[in-house]
DNA sequence: GCCAACGTTGGC
DNA sequence: GCCAACGTTGGC
């Protein structure tokens, strides 16, 4: 059973489209303990909802974790963590923050409860719910 | 651009 | 160990 996550980024920094284009990227630069600890709990094959903060304010895609956590090379000598991330699929319909907030079952979704946390754990129920709102089913895994 | 929320820092 | 000050994030 994979774990489910929510990762946030400003689209002006690294939009989901760029992840699709490049096929893989390093998720580094996280400087928050809680977020770092979440990165450390990730494993290859875990899935992540990809949220555009600021300009966008919507979940736009699904990504997958493709590496084990490793020391963040952008902070040499310091105790931070990075992982590698790849694209899985684009949501057929993006799921906006306003939508999430309007749904009672998502009151505990991290975008609502921890709006500033850039890497958060998501329950499989919430994950499925977001996919359903996005009218999206995951491609078959191999 | 403003401001609320929240995490971190540092003085005591 | 508390708490005020400060910086950052992100929604509006």
- Residues 93-122/A with CB within 7 Å of nucleic chain B are 114, 116-117
Q: A32: which nucleotide lies closest, measuring CA to C1'? A: B7
CB atoms inside a 10 Å sphere around CB A25: 18
pLDDT tens, A93-111? 999 999 999 999 999 999 9
Bridge partners, A64 (sequence order): A47, A86
Which two three-digit tokens encode residue A61? 């895609």
Closest residue to C8 measured CA to C1′: A116
Query: Residue A1: pLDDT band by 50, 70, 90 thresholds?
Result: confident
**Whole-number Å distance, CA A113 to C1' B5?**
11
Query: Considering only CA atoms, which of A125, A134, A42 is closest in space to residue A96?
Result: A134
Bridge partners, A63 (sequence order): A48, A87
pLDDT tens, A13-70? 999 999 999 999 999 999 999 999 999 999 999 999 999 999 999 999 999 999 999 9
- List CB contacts of A87: < 8 A, sequence separation 6 or more: A16, A19, A20, A23, A61, A62, A63, A64
* Cα distance between residue A113 and residue A106, in whole Å: 10
Chain C bases under 7 Å from protein CB? Answer: 8-12
The burial of A103, by beta-carbon neighbours within 10 Å (0-12 exposed, 13-18 middle, 19 or more buried), is given as middle
Chain B bases under 7 Å from protein CB? Answer: 5-8
pTM: 0.94
* Cα distance between residue A23 and residue A87, in whole Å: 6
């Amino acid at each position: 059973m994979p774990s489910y996550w929510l990762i946030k980024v400003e689209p002006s920094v690294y939009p989901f489209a760029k992840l699709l284009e490049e096929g893989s990227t390093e998720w580094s630069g996280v400087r928050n303990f809680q977020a770092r600890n979440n990165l450390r709990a990730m494993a290859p094959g875990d899935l992540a909802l990809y949220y555009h903060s600021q300009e966008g304010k919507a979940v736009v895609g699904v990504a997958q974790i493709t590496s084990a956590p490793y020391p963040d090379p952008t902070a040499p000598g310091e105790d931070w963590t990075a992982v590698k991330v790849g694209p899985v699929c684009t949501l057929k319909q993006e799921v906006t923050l306003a939508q999430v907030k309007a749904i009672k079952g998502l009151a505990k979704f991290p975008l609502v409860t921890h709006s500033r946390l850039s890497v958060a754990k998501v329950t499989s129920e919430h994950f499925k719910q977001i996919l359903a709102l996005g009218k999206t089913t995951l491609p078959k895994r191999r």
